[in-house]
Amino acid sequence: MNKIKSYITESAAESIRTEIENSNGNEIFFCGYTDENGIVTDVNVLARGNEFSVPAVIDFLSHDNIVIHNHPSGTLEPSFDDINIASYLGNQGIGVYIINNDVTDIYVVIEKYQEEKKKKLDPEMLLNILKPGKEVSKQLNNYEFRRGQLKMTENIIDGFNKNKIEIIEAGTGIGKTLAYLIPAVYWSIENEEKCVISTNTINLQEQIINKDIPFLQKVLDVQFKASLIKGRNNYICLRKVETEEREMPTLLVPEEKEELKILIDWAMETASGDKSELTFVPNFETWEKLCCESDTCIRMKCKYYEKCFLLKSRREAATSNLLIINHHLLFADLYIRSKLGQFSDVAVLPPYSRIIIDEAHHTEEVATDYFSLEVSRGGIIRNLGRVYSERKTGESKGLLSTLRTKLILKNKGILKKDISKIISKIEEVLIPQKNELSSQTEDIFFLISKLVNNNAFSENKKRRIKEDVKNSAIWKEKIIPEIYTFYKSLKTFSKDLKKLKESLEQLPGELHDEFEDRMIELKARQGRIEDLIDRIKKIFISDEPDRVKWIETEKLTYTDRIAVISAPLNISSDLKTTLYKHFKTIILTSATLTVNNSFEFLKSRIGLNREAPNRYCELIIPSSFDFQKQAMIGIPLDLPLPDESGFIENANKIIYRSLSLSKGRAFILFTSYKMLNDSHQKLEEPLVKNLNIVSLKQGDYARTRLLDHFRKDISSVLFGTSSFWEGVDVEGSSLESIIIVKLPFRVPTEPIIEARTEDIEKKGGNSFTEYSLPLAVIKFKQGFGRLIRRKTDRGFILILDKRVIEKFYGKFFLNSLPRCKTVSGTTNNVFKELNKFYK
């Protein structure tokens, strides 16, 4: 027997004793959490009595955990079942202890996993880098000592040294990127481990890779590399380029030939093969023919392996210390690692063990999006179109068209009979099958659209698939029978594509080699049909109570998008198994993580509240700006509530008056396109005619073009919704006012929102205070944060939704903002104070 104090602290032992006493001395299984010395300092109950099941709890255990259970008899020798459990857990790197009820004796069945000791960061040395008179201060223009930045850096160092999850809200002006980049650089160098920096927006990625990284490479006393990693579809594939160039004469669509020729010529000149180099946006279908894809990549067998643009970027990443990526690529990598069960090998990214997630308030949204499944009309038609499609003029394109044309040219000599059979298979079986599948797709999605739009695409709409939909005559008697027929047709089509590939594989010698590239593509097409079959089964046929399903339609310029989507109701367990369980240090940071100065909402939504309290640390760092001097909030109370008649008319009058005061220079933020369009339509003409103010509207131009125009024309105003509430950085006199027309509550009938609120209510919670309100507060904070981006910025925020004062929940919005002068009352009184502020 081993001395128990060497394995379990007295406080943890006391917790175990209390639980055992409360269960009348019966058997309990605990999860033990260890400190840096491997001693259990805290425990949680996993199961009681014979409830313990390894598959049921393995997702909640990490390699540095210990499974502890008591033997009520006092005999600590492991039973046969104990040994089986220990064998399984030991292979996962999890230790197993048996104790007596008094927690005075212990039998160590499996020792705690001992990993290689890491070199710890020196806090004093790293913090000095940011202090006055040191490296950063000497090189950084307009350097300013920020205690908040120092505190954030200190916490991140602690996160690296002690394998913790750090949750840090860092207000604007803190300099958070340098606060996390410096520890990440030194940890990577000292321990030869890559660190991932994940962001949600391209703007932040570009700031890090083009500004912050070069600056640190200049001022730090170490050499390091950082790479911006993009998804493989961003790169052109040289093998595909060769194939398409060789077979271009067989193309029957003139405009496709023209664009392919431009892209092929560019592929011969480019050094990176990155689509972002292009001066135009290529047609989706044309680019898809040429871009790198996982299912058409033959890796080391490819003659262009050494020249491959994707591999060139991945080789650079393999020698880099920091990997700069977006959240979608992060979750793509985590998903593949979880499927493979290998978290220390190469997946989408090279191996890494420390992750910094900036703009972390998007974690739930992006994870939900990534773990969702979708079947759409456009997606199916496009997928089938890659196999074969034809125009009304008789021109055809797609893989089967290319194969048929090529086979006809080769249809001679001793192989004529065999080739003719393959051509007949294409013409008489596969093409008719594909055409029938396209027809079935149109019929199914026409029926599905009727459930949402009553056959009229007047606007974008969504409808959740609940019992009312499932029990409707159109669903039960038409859609589902059609789905089953479509499902069977797809399986037959997939089998016949596989047979076609097998027939081509039988071709001899040089002829076989000529078709090898198309066989690779044929295998990929068939694989995607199989994936479609799987998604249809999961979305339409399987019953998954832990997922939310809905129909979505969207009015587009040339066609209408119709999709059926299945999303996880809660992503906590997915994040546990793919993220928290396998990565030692995780930094979650953003300027907007708390609600009413609490992280509870974030933790509950992304499953951090299920982690042991000693696994994570929390830190709130206020903005370094002086909001008392730089900003003012005005809240008129004499206009109707947003859902009352006359609201938008009164709001427009106040918006006009506000813009005349600020001389434009404003963001007007809405929560719906309808209200945005109504307001813009009423105000555009009087603003330009009377005040010479140009009104820009989201949707008229691309987001970057709108922002460029707004920055250059300092008297312009921008009417925006959704994406303009965040991720936009406009400094200086171009932006001196933010007008928040309505508190940004999500639409309660939005399927995923509705399902999650129902789930909270079923569990006895309050969905408004626990979910709807916190979501709105986070968005509200983002909108507020657009105004003051520099120490020299100044301006006011006008809130036209008086619920922020008159409703009990209004304080949650205002208490979540930095302290600044706030004036509420009549419109005249508010503008009286705003005039003083401007003067």
- Name which residue leads in pLDDT, 34 or 502: 502
DSSP 236: B
pLDDT in tens, 793-806: 899 999 999 999 99
What pLDDT is recorded for position 423? 92
Distance of CA 176 to CAs 146, 150, 310, 576, 816, Å?
A: 10, 10, 31, 26, 19
Mean pLDDT of 330-345: 78
Distance of CA 541 to CAs 9, 98, 441, 747, Å?
A: 52, 45, 16, 28
pTM of the model: 0.85
- 63 contacts 94 by C-beta, under 8 angstroms: yes
What pLDDT is recorded for position 86? 82
Measured between alpha carbons, how far is 171 from 627 in angstroms, rounded to an integer? 12
What pLDDT is recorded for position 557? 62
780: Cα separation from own chain's centroid: 20
The count of other CB atoms within 10 Å of the CB of residue 39 is 16
What pLDDT is recorded for position 50? 61
What pLDDT is recorded for position 455? 42
Question: Which ranges constitute the DSSP H helices of 319-413?
Answer: 327-340, 363-370, 377-387, 399-410
The total number of residues shown for the chain amounts to 839
Confidence of residue 454 (pLDDT cuts 50, 70, 90): low
Measured between alpha carbons, how far is 192 from 404 in angstroms, rounded to an integer? 53
Mean pLDDT of 21-38: 86
Angle at 514 between CA 513 and CA 518, to 5 degrees: 100
What pLDDT is recorded for position 62? 72
HSE of 239 in the Cβ direction (CA atoms, 13 Å)?
Answer: 20
**Lowest mean per-residue pLDDT among 256-260, 314-318, 528-532, 682-686:** 256-260
Q: Which residues pair with 389 in a beta bridge?
A: 397
What pLDDT is recorded for position 84? 81
What pLDDT is recorded for position 414? 65
Mean pLDDT of 365-392: 90
Please report which helix (H) or strand (E) contains residue 632, including its range. strand 631-636
What pLDDT is recorded for position 344? 62
Token readout for 456 is 């009229």
pLDDT at residue 60 greater than cutoff 70:
no
Contacts of 502 (CB under 8 A, 6+ apart): none
pLDDT in tens, 217-232: 999 999 999 999 998 9
Token readout for 288 is 């898809």
Mean pLDDT of 39-56: 73
- 395 contacts 252 by C-beta, under 8 angstroms: yes
What pLDDT is recorded for position 2? 52
Mean pLDDT of 70-91: 83
Confidence of residue 491 (pLDDT cuts 50, 70, 90): very high
Percent of the chain with pLDDT over 70: 95
Q: Name the average pLDDT for the chain.
A: 89
Contacts of 80 (CB under 8 A, 6+ apart): none
Residue with tokens 């033990």: 32
Mean pLDDT of 628-649: 95
pLDDT at residue 457 greater than cutoff 50:
no
**Lowest mean per-residue pLDDT among 248-252, 323-327, 744-748:** 248-252
What pLDDT is recorded for position 456? 42
Measured between alpha carbons, how far is 285 from 469 in angstroms, rounded to an integer? 34
**Lowest mean per-residue pLDDT among 7-16, 267-276, 407-416, 666-675:** 407-416
Handedness of CA 482, 483, 488, 492 (dihedral sign): positive
pLDDT at residue 43 greater than cutoff 80:
yes
Mean pLDDT of 61-78: 84
Look at residues 491, 331, 512 and name the one whose alpha carbon lies nearest to residue 410: 512
pLDDT in tens, 101-117: 999 999 999 887 766 78
Distance in angstroms between the alpha carbons of the first and the last residue of the chain: 79
What pLDDT is recorded for position 250? 62
Mean pLDDT of 585-594: 96
pLDDT at residue 459 greater than cutoff 60:
no
What pLDDT is recorded for position 253? 62
454: alpha, beta or left? (left if phi > 0; alpha if psi -120 to 50): left
Look at residues 575, 564, 566 and name the one whose alpha carbon lies nearest to residue 546: 566
Measured between alpha carbons, how far is 788 from 735 in angstroms, rounded to an integer? 9
DSSP 279: S
pLDDT at residue 814 greater than cutoff 80:
yes
